[in-house]
Structure 1
Amino acid sequence: MKVKTALLGAIASTALAPMVLADAHEGERGRDGEVKIIYWQAPSILNPFLSGGTKDVESASMIIEPLARYNSSGELTPWLVDEVPTVANGGVSEDLMSITWKITPGILWSDGTPFTSADVKFTADYCMNPDMGCAQLTKFEGVSSVEALDDLTVKVTFDKPTPFPYGPFVGGESPIIQAAQFADCTGAKAPECTDQNFGPIGTGPFVVTEFRTNDVIQMVANENYRDPNKPAFASVTFKGGGDATAAGRAVMETGEFDYAWNLQLAPDVIAQMQEGGLGTPIAGFGPLVERIMLNQTNPDPSLSADDRSVVGPHPFLGEEAVYKAMSMAIDRPLLVEVGYGQAGKVTCNWIPAPAAVNSDTFTCDVQDIAGANAMLDAAGFVDTNGDGVREANGVEMKMLYQTSTNAVRQDFQALIKQWMSEIGIEVELRNIDASVFFGGDPGSPDTFQKFYADMEMYANTFNGTDPQAYLANGLCDKAPSPATQWQGENISRFCSEEYDALHAQLTGTANADERASLARQMNDIMVSEGGMIPLVHRGRLSAHANSLGGIELNVWDSELWNVADWYRTGDNR
């Protein structure tokens, strides 16, 4: 079968174009001393295969790298290879059953040993091990084998024609780990390998010298990095913890740090910080959405740890009238105004970007408390004892609503709690330190994956402009559970045969317009059947010191994607 798709053709026309980067001020490696980065959500691990948290994926991206990634324009860009394989250049087979990657010769691991195809194959085997519970397993959906054809050639074969073969080894969420270092860390033993997970050997510009979980990472320049003039910085202090306010001030007001990530702060607070004159906020819109996940299973604390949020339906959150009324009661324009200003937009969708996949099925920009109450009344959810709380299936509609500790999120919680009370739903609020909430520790009861609550709020996004792997997070078999060591991104435990069938169709669809249509249909099922309540399409907002050059905010991959190109300018204005 000869298939030359519009999708692969479009990638071929853009992905191999040379990247346009800021002036890198070429010179001796390490010439600019130390750079200081602050992520107020502190990294808990440096292995993205054991954590889906953005903070962990992005900190690790300074150390371990994928074969290809997305640049700041969303274009697929070769990274550890000379070119991105396509049908046109022969790297993707005509029948779309395989993709073959050619590794750039001469790349070394930071320990000086050669980077080879054996490491790439090992990484696939590591994540696809059924005993592991890999957080990035959706990247390998449909992969039947990965072969090292020679030291520099890797072939990925799929179980059916795959028009978008760029899941494995692409983007910051799917980097390569060293086979020699992780050889004894496969399967169920993976989380136990502290030294490896906290200090991976990598091909990236920096090497870990100290890792204090949920606190600080110390790094130095990788002396075996493939560009002899990079990185410009000899060392990195990567500080975690605190809050977004302190992080923003540390860059824009006091100058203690050079880069602050994810400044989830009210617009007036950002403006005030910028008056400090030492730093500049930067923003861009990708597919990042603040949402409320609705637990489809029972989080009752009387159940055992292995059963809680795993078995049995939720007492009432699966009822259509309930989740639709909850959504109707929310004033999204007010949330945008309070929390984000111009860095936020009202959205009814799980996937609002790129524009082609943004569904126009729903409207949700007008709050309707009266309509929500009428819907619940008509469905028979009434307050029979006069305490202001409706009952459903013999259970009072009381819910635990959790999120990470952050001023904007706590403002959202307070508003949403009030709106829920106006429709007869009682909400208890809880906030958890972000480093723990997003940490992925299988032993912690407080991670967003375990979801020991009825509602939880957070935001996440995906690498690149094609949502295929991200949409796989809604598949029935991607729910976190004890069997997966609580890894997996189907956080709400949503399960729909129709959704799963559409995703299977998406993986075999070539036409770009048809792919976008399928993505919109899947978005609509997730939202209309109560997997989540989307709230705000968020722009990424970070800040850098005026003296830090080479910054290119990337909403399609790790924000630290080009940290090797950062340098000191001397401009402190």
Structure 2
Amino acid sequence: MKPYSTSKAALSILALGMGLGLAMGSVPAMAAKMDATIGMQLEPPNLDPTGGAAAAIDEVVYANVFEGLTRFGADGSILPALAESWDISEDGLTYTFNLREGVKFHDGTDFNAEDVKFSLDRARADDSTNAQKALFADIASVEVVDPATVKVTLSKPNGAFLFNMAWGDAVIVAPETAAENAANPVGTGPFTFTEWAKGDRVDLSRNPDYWGEAVRLDKVTFKFISDPTAAFAAMMAGDIDAFPNFPAPENLPQFEADPRFSVIVGSTEGETILAMNNKQPPLDNIKVREAISHAIDRQAIIDGAMFGYGTPIGTHFAPHNPAYVDLTGQSALDPEKAKALLAEAGVSDLTLSLKLPPPSYARRGGEIIAAQLRDVGIETEITNVEWAQWIEDVFKGKNFDLTIVSHTEPMDIGIYGRDDYYFQYGDPDFKAIMANLDKATDPATRTGLMQSAQRKIADDYVNGYLFQLARTGVADAKLKGIWPNSPTQANDMTAVYWED
């Protein structure tokens, strides 16, 4: 970044112009700002939310470029989107969606029920590359009733089906453009894709033909700044208007003291965990996993890696969810118990790989955890990896012992029932709990099952549960409408505007 400078000559001309303007009484009022530059620490690997697991994809395109049948509101509620309403059969198996009419994709083609059928069938196909294919597993058939009506029949009741359809992985795409969405996304949203300058930014423009309420910004730029120091400098210089997930929480007090900025602190769906490979010896031994859990000082990680921002968790569930159970005491810091468990397991001189993706919670937290594990006799070999390598090596290849990652998908405890998921748990009893949850519609019954699921994975010490990631953001004080919380991984710009 070049330092800003102005020559003496330029300053003289500027002063003269200002003087003349004042003398003539003709200084025009500044036009309202109609664009916003949003900072992000991570660049998405592609721009297709139906074909990638990275949270950064949704952070750019969710609700901005792509829309689903339903969507998450800022408060986590499920709202109508491309489906303006729906009817559910008494047996809970058939959902009839009444679609909005007059909607067009950004290439000018019409949106209709055929696009919904294509999208859902594509997501659940045997060769689907959707990162959340399990969201569609209960769909038995998708039938086009007429251009504005689609009927989805499930193989079994699923009380979370409308919730599932709000995920970014469930957005509706067109058959004509689906194959190109990774580099040239075409959706139905209020912003259209303009340009992706790899390694730098993604530009979006206001969609003049949007079916719904028009957005108030003409242009949004998502600027990728991976280095926390550079992110701080960019905000202070005014190069960035907002950084909703600011990567250097230690700088927030400086922004709070500066009237030019507003600091936004909220909650996320991000359960930050020390993930363990449950099928990799000796981590296939519950005593070893429990020992690791008792070696962890959560608050020290929150303080050291996140500067105090974060809520300790003892299971994979968000503390702000009404069904949350506080199980932190079950895996409380107890180094002596950790050593005893390792001895009971017959494990000594243990060295484990610890692969850390780029976010500061992982890199900083990994160093703290390595020291904590060393205190109970476990050494770690730390490898810092970029996201693409993490996806291939850890998430897909399962080539790891330990890793640290924040799972930012909403209420995603169901991942523990997947046999092929990267930490390789897939316990039959847990699967049975989730199967009953899928069938349940009574709120009290669902709460009880969710709490049973939380206790089950805590009892099995599947992973080391660290903290719920806080949403710590900073914005220009005049930029309004940024989500304070993150009910899903998104930078929803549809209600963002500049205050006069």
Could you tell me the TM-score, scaled by structure 1's length?
0.77
* Structure 1 residue 340 displacement after superposition: 3.2
Separation in structure 1 between the aligned mates of residue 328 and residue 221 of structure 2, nearest angstrom: 45
Separation in structure 2 between the aligned mates of residue 210 and residue 324 of structure 1, nearest angstrom: 48
User: 8 Å contact 1:316–1:322 — kept in the other structure?
Assistant: yes
Aligned residue in 2 for 1:334? 300
Instruction: Give matches, 1:139-538, under 5 Å.
Output: 139-182=135-178, 185=179, 195-227=180-212, 230-251=214-235, 253-266=236-249, 268-296=250-278, 313-341=279-307, 343-363=309-329, 366-382=332-348, 389=349, 397-434=350-387, 436=388, 440=391, 444-445=392-393, 448-463=395-410, 467=411, 470-477=412-419, 479=420, 490-538=421-469
* Structure 1 residue 158 displacement after superposition: 0.5
* Structure 1 residue 314 displacement after superposition: 1.2
* Structure 1 residue 152 displacement after superposition: 0.9
Separation in structure 1 between the aligned mates of residue 290 and residue 398 of structure 2, nearest angstrom: 21
Separation in structure 1 between the aligned mates of residue 139 and residue 32 of structure 2, nearest angstrom: 43
Separation in structure 2 between the aligned mates of residue 476 and residue 169 of structure 1, nearest angstrom: 19
Aligned residue in 1 for 2:19? none
Aligned residue in 1 for 2:125? 129
**Percent identity, aligned pairs only?**
23
Classify the secondary structure of the residue corresponding to 2:129: coil
TM-superposition CA deviations, 1:306-360 (whole Å, max 9, x none): xxxxxxx412001111111111111112122223355312111111344432224
Aligned residue in 2 for 1:79? 81
User: 8 Å contact 1:92–1:100 — kept in the other structure?
Assistant: yes
* Structure 1 residue 292 displacement after superposition: 0.8
TM-superposition CA deviations, 1:480-509 (whole Å, max 9, x none): xxxxxxxxxx22021211111111111111
The runs of 4+ residues in structure 1 deviating greater than 4 Å are none
Aligned residue in 1 for 2:54? 53
Separation in structure 2 between the aligned mates of residue 409 and residue 272 of structure 1, nearest angstrom: 24
User: 8 Å contact 1:403–1:430 — kept in the other structure?
Assistant: yes
Separation in structure 2 between the aligned mates of residue 70 and residue 203 of structure 1, nearest angstrom: 16
Aligned residue in 2 for 1:65? 67
Unaligned runs of 5+ in 2: 1-30
Aligned residue in 2 for 1:485? none
Larger radius of gyration: 2
User: 8 Å contact 1:284–1:541 — kept in the other structure?
Assistant: yes
Aligned length: 469
Q: 1:210 to 1:433 in 2, by over 3 A?
A: same
Q: 1:513 to 1:423 in 2, by over 3 A?
A: same
Separation in structure 2 between the aligned mates of residue 133 and residue 167 of structure 1, nearest angstrom: 21
Classify the secondary structure of the residue corresponding to 2:483: coil
Classify the secondary structure of the residue corresponding to 1:219: strand
Amino acid at match of 1:202: G
TM-superposition CA deviations, 1:173-211 (whole Å, max 9, x none): 4211112212xx4xxxxxxxxx33111211112111222
Q: 1:133 to 1:493 in 2, by over 3 A?
A: farther
Aligned residue in 2 for 1:7? none
User: 8 Å contact 1:49–1:127 — kept in the other structure?
Assistant: yes
Could you tell me the TM-score, scaled by structure 2's length?
0.87
Unaligned runs of 5+ in 1: 1-29, 86-90, 186-194, 297-312, 383-388, 390-396, 480-489
Separation in structure 2 between the aligned mates of residue 167 and residue 551 of structure 1, nearest angstrom: 22
Q: Give the RMSD, CA atoms, in angstroms.
A: 2.3
Q: 1:459 to 1:168 in 2, by over 3 A?
A: closer
Q: 1:361 to 1:167 in 2, by over 3 A?
A: same
User: 8 Å contact 1:32–1:234 — kept in the other structure?
Assistant: no
Q: 1:317 to 1:200 in 2, by over 3 A?
A: same
Separation in structure 2 between the aligned mates of residue 345 and residue 410 of structure 1, nearest angstrom: 18
Separation in structure 2 between the aligned mates of residue 537 and residue 558 of structure 1, nearest angstrom: 14
Amino acid at match of 1:99: Y
**Residue 569, structure 1, aligned to residue 499, structure 2:** yes
User: 8 Å contact 2:315–2:327 — kept in the other structure?
Assistant: no
Amino acid at match of 2:192: V
Separation in structure 1 between the aligned mates of residue 446 and residue 228 of structure 2, nearest angstrom: 37
Q: 1:164 to 1:345 in 2, by over 3 A?
A: closer
